[in-house]
Amino acid sequence: MASFSIWELARFGHTARYLPRNQVSSYLAVEPNGLMHFGLRDAAHKAGYLESDGSFFLLPCGAEDTQTIIRTTHSSGGSVDCIVCILTLCSIPDAEKILMRLVRDVLRPGGTLFIFEHVRNRREDVAWWQWLWSPIWSVFFDGCRLDRATDKWVERMEDIDSSGGMMAMWKSVIMKYSTENDLEDNIMPHVLGTFIKHD
């Protein structure tokens, strides 16, 4: 049976309950907010992931601390099979650059990035309202921005091939939006995405 390592921008640790312990070797959670650590540990422990046996790592840093994440990932056996981001990329400074580095340096070839994020509306008039409200919104919601086109910049990620040229990061992309109607005036459309990295 395959054994997978999962790395998550954690927040609440929702993913842990869906990871079958007999198939997942390690669960690494990144969460800078210490107030969430008790709940994260509790969720991980209930799912069978423990720090004492090396199956659970809780990093009290932000996603921007890529050196700590890469160092911990490699000390736990190398690159990871999956990266999971659930409603977190909206609040990370320089998220596009940081996630690019983590996908390139931490996610193994053929590994999977899963995202569930709210994104910039494709309608320019609605996107304008997202832009207008984002500075106020971010004050009350831990830096969250309503106007990030996360889906677009993840989809267009590129990597460097063996000859030094540019290549698509993903060999497979599946995205589903909370609304199939691009014209719906939703100030917080969500996207569910599965991205499989090139081999």
Which CATH number belongs to the domain containing residue 116 in this structure? Answer: 3.40.50.150
Residue type, 135: P
Largest CA distance in the chain: 52
The predicted pLDDT at position 70 comes to 82
The predicted pLDDT at position 2 comes to 38
Flag residues of the chain having pLDDT under 70.
1-12, 75-78, 179-183
Contacts of 56 (CB under 8 A, 6+ apart): 26, 27, 28, 29, 41, 44, 45, 49, 50
Half-sphere exposure of 109 (CA within 13 A, CB side): 6
Instruction: Give how many domains the chain has, as a whole number.
Output: 1
Residue 170: give the domain boundaries: 4-197
Residues linked to residue 117 through DSSP beta bridges, in sequence order: 191
SS3 of residue 119 by DSSP: coil
Cα 122-132-148 angle, rounded to 5 deg: 45
The predicted pLDDT at position 143 comes to 87
The predicted pLDDT at position 180 comes to 62
